[in-house]
């Protein structure tokens, strides 16, 4: 066990975190999606620490965070189509998978010829990247496969083998990870639904495909396995009526309305049925249900449109039955 410094995000704290990153260390920092565990993306040894701390398999490539389109162009070949999306959506929850340049270490991309890039829309994150003077490779700041952290405390509780510093800037605004998009022959494919709804991207690109459907080889390593899971097993249910079974303590994740009075431990994603609010609450509610020590979590489905796609994606992966778990 290795303790981390835990500090409120401030200019002085950002400076300290940047010094750790420059020196080959690691820092947890807020983004608008979830908290990230970052290291200098150009330092393979520093990036290796991320995999150790998270217990993340080496075949799962990282997202590299940049502070400008100009910086992105030093790391990857940016097509006109990709640049148009950057101009429209960066900073924001859109990750673009692009042909990498030589400068990117293989450990970041898991040996792929492409690299995933994103410019986060969070002042602390952008200040950190600028102060570090280097792009920052950063997956979510949780142990591999578990619930993503939407507060600094979530990160601290999961990463026992300490990053050097944790910057605390309160709850993240969006609450689900970025949307990951790639291009094949100039056409866009969504590799992961996330914080930027498909509909918004399609206003710029026209209709998009979801590359993950079918096919044996995953287009995006790390996306086919069980993921985003609470400690308690999770089941998606069709709708209420719910009969709490004998002896089991149920946690219930409702979309808009509270379940029957028999269910004592529950959280509501959004009383008004707002999918943005629901996404922002998703992981923190699951963290809380887990912390209540329930035996099983029952989750209601949400409409699969807008941010609802990202929510359903997370719930489905969290609920993968035991026998289907395991690597890709």
Q: Which of 41, 36, 35, 29 is nearest to 5 (CA)?
A: 29
Kindly state whether residue 225 participates in binding ligand AMP, applying the rule CB under 6 A: no
User: In whole angstroms, what is the distance from residue 273 CA to residue 121 CA?
Assistant: 25
User: In whole angstroms, what is the distance from residue 282 CA to residue 270 CA?
Assistant: 10
Beta pairing class for 94-99 and 63-65: unpaired
Question: Binding segment for ligand AMP among 37-45, 109-117, 150-158, 284-292 (CB under 6 A)?
Answer: 109-117
Kindly state whether residue 142 participates in binding ligand AMP, applying the rule CB under 6 A: no
Picked from Mg ion, ligand AMP, none, the partner binding residue 26 (CB below 5 to 8 A depending on kind) is none
Site map (CB under 6 A) of ligand AMP, residues 42-81, x = contact: ------------------xxxx------------------
Whole-number CA gyration radius for the chain: 19
CB of 307 to ligand AMP, least distance (A): 16
Q: Which is nearer to ligand AMP, 114 or 124 (CB)?
A: 114
Q: Which of 28, 97, 147, 234 binds ligand AMP (CB under 6 A)?
A: 97
Kindly state whether residue 31 participates in binding Mg ion, applying the rule CB under 5 A: no
Site map (CB under 6 A) of ligand AMP, residues 240-279, x = contact: ----------------------------------------
Kindly state whether residue 180 participates in binding ligand AMP, applying the rule CB under 6 A: yes
Q: Which of 40, 177, 300, 313 binds ligand AMP (CB under 6 A)?
A: 177
Structure token pair of residue 224? 């086919």
Q: Which is nearer to Mg ion, 139 or 197 (CB)?
A: 139
């Amino acid at each position: 066990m290795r303790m981390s410094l835990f500090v409120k995000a401030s200019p002085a704290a950002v400076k300290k975190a940047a010094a750790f990153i420059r020196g080959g260390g690691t820092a947890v920092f807020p983004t608008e999606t979830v908290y990230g565990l970052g290291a200098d993306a150009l330092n393979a040894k520093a990036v290796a620490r991320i995999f150790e701390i998270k217990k993340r398999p080496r075949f799962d490539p990282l997202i590299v965070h940049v502070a400008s389109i100009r910086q992105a162009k030093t790391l990857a070949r940016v097509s006109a189509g990709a640049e148009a999306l950057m101009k429209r959506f960066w900073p924001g929850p859109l990750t673009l998978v692009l042909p990498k340049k030589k400068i990117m270490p293989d450990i970041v991309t898991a040996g792929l010829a492409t690299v995933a890039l994103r410019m986060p829309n969070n002042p602390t994150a952008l200040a950190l990247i600028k102060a570090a003077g280097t792009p920052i490779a950063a997956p979510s700041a949780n142990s591999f496969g578990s619930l993503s952290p939407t507060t600094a405390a979530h990160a601290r509780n999961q990463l026992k083998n300490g990053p050097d510093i944790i910057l605390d800037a309160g709850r993240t605004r969006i609450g689900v990870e970025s949307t990951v998009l790639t291009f094949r022959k100039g056409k866009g494919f969504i590799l992961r639904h996330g914080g930027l709804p498909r509909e918004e991207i399609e206003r710029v690109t026209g209709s998009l495909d979801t590359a993950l459907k079918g096919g044996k080889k995953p287009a995006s390593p790390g996306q086919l396995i069980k993921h985003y899971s609470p400690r308690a097993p999770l089941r998606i249910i069709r709708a209420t009526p719910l009969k709490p079974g004998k002896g089991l303590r149920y946690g219930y994740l409702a979309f808009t309305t509270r379940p029957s009075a028999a269910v004592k431990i529950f959280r509501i994603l959004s009383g008004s049925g707002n999918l943005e609010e629901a996404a922002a609450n998703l992981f923190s509610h699951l963290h809380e249900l887990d912390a209540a020590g329930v035996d099983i979590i029952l989750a209601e489905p949400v409409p699969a449109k807008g941010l609802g796609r990202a929510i359903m994606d997370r719930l489905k992966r969290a609920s993968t039955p035991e026998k289907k778990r395991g690597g890709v």
